[in-house]
């Protein structure tokens, strides 16, 4: 019995060794160094402060974005990173910023208006004072009744699509539950080559698109009538409004009228008064500036060079988009992701890490207008998704990691249908299970810069983050400010990213890849 027991124990031990060897290696000594630096000596909130409160809004090609880019390069150089540069990715167009904004109703009483000029719209050319004209029209022919009556006036539309506000009984801030994360983890991989089911006709969407087209024509008529200012109903409530652009950023974009995106409470208050036949007067002054001297778009790039003779030409990339909208200071979208990625680089540099592969960070521009910065960079360096003609460097990028879903802590990672990386990621997450990061889903996620890499066959990944108040309060809103950042979440995220980048750099083999995508004429 004793001999049998010893044999059984030996076989068990050998089996355990083979199992351990089969698992992805985790360097716990390095993880401990990364955790100590990232969780006890974090600088992530200092970085976020510089991007938001100091640099201000970072609309594409605006002075705010340029300030932030110059600061980031200076910071990278101070940390001792190499090949720090502001690299052009292509032509973007005009920059724009708000120099001054003031608006208030003066009759029947004085009240400041919560609003913001729409991006890439002009100013009012001085103070404008006017009775507000309520335009009741749903089509271009109905605009004829206002011909010759709108010059210099402040105008707003009234139509049946405007709805009064209703209270919400859902919490603004949300973290993923264990049940939700478990559902993600159990998701099935999409069938290769499977076609998405055809979308059923959506009458509501068709009606909305028709109404939007008609509104564009009516807005053009208002511009032809030389109206002084247009007031637009902004999505949102409780003083939060979500902003957008009111004109094109193209160098040859046609002129438009000044336009204010007005918070729902202020817009609806004015609308109710006008519908009741009350006279409403308003004054406003808007000054905006356009910048067309340099229409190119730029990304900030920096590296920790690889040291292994065989692997140093291979690259691990990480990044996040650096540009923002203009009504806030772009804290959760996406100073959060940019600060986390910068902090991950600082952590690795501070602990004295000498990576086998080169580690390269990119702070993208013009993501908000269509992932332009990352797509331009990928097309320049790695290949064209339209033709799938790839460069030699495409094979050298083993992975790209992205962060762009707000301040929420990392809870796991999307494998983007890449079954080969799933068990690797599971092992890399184990040292962070104690800080609630453990979920790997085979599923995809969209809308962020990892898609530019995925489109040319480079493994590109976005992390799973707690939603927080991203969709309800901060995403593209006037409330997207430093105060909405959660320090502990960002510290944990930077620590996890640093560990992922570390292990990707040190692997003997590159990260597994999926089958190359087919050429996509749309380039997406």
So what's the pLDDT on residue 205? 63
Mark whether 122 and 83 lie in a shared domain: no
Mean per-residue pLDDT of the chain = 92
Q: What pLDDT sits at residue 12?
A: 30
Question: What pLDDT, on a 0 to 100 scale, did the predictor assign at position 212?
Answer: 74
Residues 273 and 306 in one domain: no
Token output for 119: 């991006």
**Diameter of the chain measured on Cα atoms:** 106
Query: Both 223 and 138 in a single domain?
Result: yes
Of the pLDDT bands very low, low, confident and very high (cuts 50, 70, 90), residue 524 is: low
Range of the domain at 368: 25-92+295-506
Q: Residue 349's pLDDT band (boundaries 50, 70, 90)?
A: very high
Is there a single domain that holds both residue 331 and residue 356?
yes
* DSSP class of 174: B
Q: Per the domain annotation, does 7 fall within a domain?
A: no
> Which of 221, 255, 287 is the C-terminal boundary of a domain?
287
Strand segments (E) across 315-459: 315-321, 358-364, 383-384, 389-390, 397-402, 410-414, 439-441
- Tell whether 387 and 460 lie within a shared domain: yes
pLDDT of residue 203: 72
Helical (H) or strand (E) element with 211: helix 203-224
Chain segment 173-218, per-residue pLDDT in tens: 999 999 999 999 999 876 654 444 445 567 766 766 777 787 788 8
| Contacts (Cβ under 8 Å, ≥6 apart) of 444 | 190, 414, 416, 417
DSSP string, 252-282: TPPP---EEEE-HHHHHHHHHHHHTT---EE
Same domain (yes/no): 431, 472: yes
Q: Rounded distance, CA 330 to CA 320, Å?
A: 13
Q: Domain boundary at 287, 308, 325, which?
A: 287
pLDDT given at position 2: 37
Q: Using 50, 70 and 90 to split pLDDT, how confident is the model at 300?
A: very high
Sign of CA dihedral 233, 236, 238, 243: negative
Q: Are 57 and 325 in contact (CB under 8 A)?
A: yes
In this predicted structure, what is the pLDDT of residue 523? 66
pLDDT tens per residue, range 309-318: 999 999 999 9
Helices marked H in 316-456: 336-350, 372-381, 422-429, 450-454
| pLDDT at residue number 201 | 61
Same-domain status, 413 and 309 = yes
What are the residues whose beta carbons fall under 8 Å from the beta carbon of 114, sequence distance 6 or more?
Answer: 239, 241, 262, 263, 265, 266, 478
Determine, yes or no, domain membership for 150.
Answer: yes
**Upper half-sphere CA count for residue 100 (Cβ side, 13 Å):** 10
Q: Is the pLDDT of residue 14 over 50?
A: no
CB 160 within 8 A of CB 208: no
Return the exposure string of 106-128: e unless at least 16 CB atoms fall within 10 Å of the residue's CB, then b: eeeeeeebbbbbbbbbbbbeeeb
pLDDT 10s digits, 375-387: 999 999 999 999 9
Asked if 230 contacts 219 with a C-beta cutoff of 8 angstroms, the reply is yes
DSSP code at position 332: I
**How are beta strands 128-136 and 281-291 bridged, if at all?**
antiparallel
Higher pLDDT, 374 or 17: 374
pLDDT over 70 at 21, yes or no: no
The verdict on 149 and 249 lying in the same domain is yes
Residue 118, pLDDT above cutoff 70: yes
Q: pLDDT over 70 for what percent of the chain?
A: 92
Residue 311 forms part of a structural domain:
yes
Could you give the CA distance from residue 415 to residue 184 in angstroms, rounded to a whole number?
11
423 assigned to some structural domain: yes
Q: What is the mean pLDDT of residues 17-46?
A: 84
Least confident of 65-74, 184-193, 471-480, 508-517: 184-193
| CA–CA dist 24, 325 (Å, integer) | 41
> Is 278 found in the same domain as 158?
yes
336 and 378 belong to one structural domain: yes
283 in the same domain as 352: no
Give every CB contact of residue 18 below 8 A, 6+ residues apart in sequence. Answer: none
Asked, for residue 266, whether it belongs to a domain, the answer is yes
Query: pLDDT at residue 519 above 60?
Result: yes
Which CATH number belongs to the domain containing residue 109 in this structure? 3.50.30.30
Whether 172 shows a pLDDT value over 70: the answer reads yes
Same domain, 162 and 214: yes
Q: What pLDDT score was predicted for residue 18?
A: 30
How far, in Å, CA of 299 to CA of 313, rounded? 21
pTM of structure = 0.92
Tell me if 189 is assigned to some domain.
Answer: no
221/503 Cα distance (integer angstroms): 59
pLDDT in tens, 459-503: 999 999 999 999 999 999 999 999 999 999 999 999 999 999 999
Looking at residue 58, its pLDDT comes to: 98
Q: What is the total count of domains within the chain?
A: 2
Q: Are 462 and 374 in contact (CB under 8 A)?
A: no
Q: What CATH number has the domain bearing residue 438?
A: 3.40.630.10
pLDDT tens track for 254-287: 999 999 999 999 999 999 999 999 999 999 999 9
Q: Which residue has the tokens 């009234």?
A: 158
Structural domain contains residue 375: yes
In which band, very low, low, confident or very high, does the pLDDT at 8 lie, cut at 50, 70 and 90? very low
Question: Considering the domain boundaries, does residue 8 fall inside one?
Answer: no
Q: pLDDT, tens digit, for every residue of 200-212?
A: 567 766 766 777 7
């Amino acid at each position: 019995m004793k001999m049998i027991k010893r044999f059984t124990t030996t076989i068990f031990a050998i089996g355990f060794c083979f199992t351990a060897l089969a698992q992805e290696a985790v360097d716990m000594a390095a993880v401990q160094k990364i955790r100590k630096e990232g969780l006890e000596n974090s600088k992530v909130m200092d970085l976020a402060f510089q991007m938001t409160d100091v640099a201000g809004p970072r609309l594409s090609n605006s002075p705010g974005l340029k300030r932030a880019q110059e600061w980031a390069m200076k910071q990278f150089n101070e940390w001792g990173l190499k090949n720090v540069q502001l690299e052009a990715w292509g032509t973007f167009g005009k920059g724009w910023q708000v120099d001054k904004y003031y608006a208030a109703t003066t009759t029947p009483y004085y009240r400041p208006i919560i609003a913001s000029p729409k991006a890439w719209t002009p100013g009012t050319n001085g103070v404008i004072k006017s009775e507000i004209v309520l335009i009741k029209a749903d089509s271009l022919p109905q605009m004829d009744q206002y011909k010759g009556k709108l010059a210099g006036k402040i105008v707003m539309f009234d139509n049946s699509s405007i709805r009064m506000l209703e209270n919400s009984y859902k919490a603004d801030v949300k973290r993923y539950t264990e049940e939700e994360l478990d559902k993600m983890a159990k998701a099935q991989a999409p069938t290769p080559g499977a076609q998405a089911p055809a979308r059923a006709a959506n009458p509501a969407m068709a009606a909305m698109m028709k109404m939007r087209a008609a509104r564009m024509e009516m807005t053009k008529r208002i511009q032809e009538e030389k109206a002084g200012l247009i007031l637009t109903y902004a999505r949102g409530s409780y003083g939060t409004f979500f902003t957008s652009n009111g004109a094109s950023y193209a160098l040859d974009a046609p002129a438009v009228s000044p336009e204010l995106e007005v918070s729902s409470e202020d817009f609806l208050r004015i609308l109710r008064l006008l519908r009741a036949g009350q006279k409403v007067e308003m004054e406003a002054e808007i000054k905006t500036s356009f910048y067309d001297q340099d229409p190119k778009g730029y990304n900030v790039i920096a590296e920790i060079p690889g040291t292994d003779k065989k692997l140093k030409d291979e690259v691990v990339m990480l990044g996040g988009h650096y540009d923002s909208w203009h009504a806030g200071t772009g804290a959760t979208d996406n100073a959060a992701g940019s600060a986390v990625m910068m902090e991950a680089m600082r952590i690795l540099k501070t602990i004295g890490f000498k990576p086998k592969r080169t580690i390269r960070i990119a702070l993208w521009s013009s993501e908000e207008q269509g992932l332009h910065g990352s797509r331009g960079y990928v097309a320049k360096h790695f290949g064209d998704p339209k033709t799938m003609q790839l460069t030699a460097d495409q094979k050298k990028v083993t992975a790209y990691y992205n962060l762009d879903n707000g301040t929420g802590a990392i809870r796991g990672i999307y494998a983007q249908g890449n079954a080969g990386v799933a068990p690797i990621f599971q092992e890399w997450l184990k040292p962070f299970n104690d800080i609630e990061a453990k979920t790997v889903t085979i599923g995809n996620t969209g809308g962020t810069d990892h898609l530019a890499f995925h489109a040319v066959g480079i493994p590109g990944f976005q992390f799973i983050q707690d939603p927080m108040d991203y969709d309800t309060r901060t995403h593209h809103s006037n409330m997207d400010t430093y105060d909405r950042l959660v320090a502990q979440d960002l510290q944990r995220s930077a620590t996890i990213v640093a560990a992922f980048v570390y292990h990707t750099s040190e692997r003997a083999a590159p990260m597994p890849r999926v089958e190359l995508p087919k050429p996509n004429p749309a380039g997406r």
